[in-house]
Amino acid sequence: MGEGEGTPLLVSGSNAGFKNENFEKVFRPVLAEFVGVTVFVFVGTMVVQTNDIVSIGLAHGLMIALLIMGIGGISGGHFNPAVTLGVALNGGISISLSVLYFFAQMIGGALGAAFTRAVLPSDVYHGDMSINGGAHTLSAGVEPGWAVLCEAILTFVLVFTVLMNALDKRNQDSVLTPLAIGFAVAVDIMGGGMTTGASMNPARSFGPALAVSTFNDDVWKHHYVYWVGPALGSLVAAGIYR
């Protein structure tokens, strides 16, 4: 092959390096987060039909582990604004990219929840056999303040696991990292799922709430719990890790 032959047309010219760098470091990671959260929320809301906390926990945990194994190398495998916050506070991702991740995650959560609304029968989605769209709500008798504390502790477990296994250089090359993070999600849901739903993830809570709110606007009553709790838990995890 002669000199200059085989050069891709789309990356030729003076802006080739800049365009390729943007694609690799911005577009692909943001797209990976969008796709990952879409699939995660779809599976997470669909499994609520089982009404079995073990199945729900395992489905969420194994889905996260699979996503990290599959596309975590592209984006870092956050799939959760709370995780992105903790990683950003420890220098694992730039502030500008973390903002793009946030919007990709939220849109992905809404799309995944929309897919669930599209495929489930109405009596299962919001009717007599309702799963309330798979949205998170507080269990009867649970006070919002205690719910915030519960979500904060659960999110701390998850984010600290991510930081110690995916960000820390002593462990980041371990093949067990995806499983460790998946296990953290699973045990958190098994532990707190009957209290708050164990969200730990604003994108996982926002998407289903948005999708089902046309049938049940009460889903917004304590929705702030699923933002404040994960944010606090992530901040504490980031602080202790530093």
Would 45 be classed as within a structural domain?
A: yes
How far apart are alpha carbons 194 and 188 in whole angstroms? 11
- Residue-level pLDDT at 162: 96
In a domain, 3, yes or no: no
Note whether residue 11 is domain-resident: no
d(CA 73, CA 104): 17
Whole-model pTM? Answer: 0.89
The residue segments making up the domain with residue 140 are 26-241
For the chain, what's the residue count? Answer: 242
What CATH number corresponds to the domain at position 234? Answer: 1.20.1080.10
Q: Does 13 reside within a domain?
A: no
pLDDT value of residue 38:
98
User: Which pLDDT does position 124 carry in this prediction?
Assistant: 94
The dihedral built from the CA positions of residue 121, 107, 40 and 188, taken in this order, carries a sign that is negative
pLDDT of 15: 55
Per-residue pLDDT, 172: 66
pLDDT at res. 19:
66
- Kind plus residue range of the DSSP H or E element containing 161: helix 144-162
Rounded to an integer, what distance in angstroms lies between the CA atom of residue 151 and that of residue 231?
A: 9
- Which segments of 82-160 are extended strands (E)? none
Residue 6 forms part of a structural domain: no
Number of domains in the chain: 1
Give every residue of the chain whose pLDDT is below 70, as ranges. 1-19, 172-173
Q: Residue 3: its pLDDT value, please?
A: 38
In this structure, is residue 18 part of a structural domain? no
Model pLDDT, residue 143:
97
For residue 122, give the nearest of 133, 111, 113 by alpha carbon: 133
The 8 Å CB, 24+ separation contacts for 5-10 are none
Cα separation, 161 vs 185, in Å, equals: 10
14 domain residue, yes or no: no
